[in-house]
Amino acid sequence: MTEPSREYRFAEGEMLLVRKPAGWTSFDVVHRIRKITGVKKVGHAGTLDPLATGLLIVCTGKKTKSIAGFVGLDKEYEAEMVLGGRTESFDRATPVVETRSTEGVDEERVRTVLAEFTGPRLQMPPMWSAVSVKGKRLYKYAREGVEVDRLPREIVIHGIEPLLIRVPLVRFRVTCSKGTYVRSLVSEMGERLGCGAYLSALERTRIGPFRVADAVTLEELGAYRTLLAAKPS
């Protein structure tokens, strides 16, 4: 890769735009960046599920004090859902537990339902999530087959744009407020359509003004750091 135009001052504090790969938790990314940079103080602004990909804002050193400001920014995602099925986690991380017919569900109906989900709404955090209740993550309760009471959260869906409708596959772009679970949104859409749905792919493409097109992979970041270390002082 080409030589960087400026050096990252990791320990002093940097805001990094990282492209999270599928299968990694957000903490996995943080742990990897600690190893790459040699900096212990590293944090991320906004969790992505392991199956999700895309933009993750990671801060090092003193820049971690700015994380709260990034967390509150609006998000943009490109999502793919499969109609006609339901899973406990609302995505493909868990097996399909129910199948339903998609007969009568056409492009016009899908477009109508997607449009109905714009605006402010209350959303219940899914059991398969990292939200903490009584000091324990919800997904840990879910693994034990226990469902606990939780409070709905106020979110805002600023816009939904259909990208592909080829039943049972639907792809769309959604712009939303912080705290929005796209897989919960997909599950609700499936219920509204009457056939069920689950999230099959998700990429975060934007956080506020920051775009995934400007993000680096962990491999690129590692090569970047190696290059900086090799430069003569």
pLDDT in tens, 157-167: 999 999 999 99
Going by pLDDT thresholds of 50, 70 and 90, the confidence category of residue 38 is confident
Band the pLDDT of 3: cuts 50, 70, 90: very low
Residue with token string 């469902």: 147
Tokens read off for 121:
């709404």
Q: Which two tokens stand for residue 32?
A: 């990897």
Residue 226's pLDDT band (boundaries 50, 70, 90)? low
Which value, in Å, is the radius of gyration of the alpha carbons in the chain? 19
The ranges assigned to domains in the chain are 15-72+209-230, 75-126+152-207
* pLDDT in the model for residue 233: 44
C-alpha distances (whole Å) from 123 to each of 114, 117, 135, 177, 202 are 16, 11, 21, 12, 18
**Per-residue pLDDT, 224:** 66
Catalytic (active site) residue 214: no
Spatial separation of the C-alpha atoms in residues 79 and 65, rounded to whole Å: 31
Task: List CB contacts of 189: < 8 A, sequence separation 6 or more.
Answer: 81, 113, 114, 117, 197
CB neighbours of 94 closer than 8 A, spacing ≥ 6?
Answer: 87, 88, 128
pLDDT tens track for 43-60: 999 899 999 999 999 999
The distance of Cα 98 from the centroid of its chain, to the nearest Å, equals 25
Rounded Cα distance, 74 and 223, in Å: 31
Q: 15-72+209-230 and 75-126+152-207: same fold?
A: yes
The class level of CATH for 15-72+209-230 reads alpha beta
What pLDDT digit, counting tens, does each position of 77-108 carry? 999 999 999 999 999 999 999 999 999 999 99
Write down the pLDDT at residue 127: 82
**CATH class assigned to 75-126+152-207:** alpha beta
E strand residue ranges, 42-111: 42-45, 53-60, 75-83, 85-87, 96-99
Write down the pTM of the prediction.
0.89
pLDDT per residue as tens digits for the range 118-127: 999 999 988 8
Catalytic residue among 49, 74, 149, 214: 49
The half-sphere exposure of 56 on its side-chain side, counting CA atoms within 13 A, is: 27
What pLDDT sits at residue 131?
81
3-state secondary structure of 83: strand
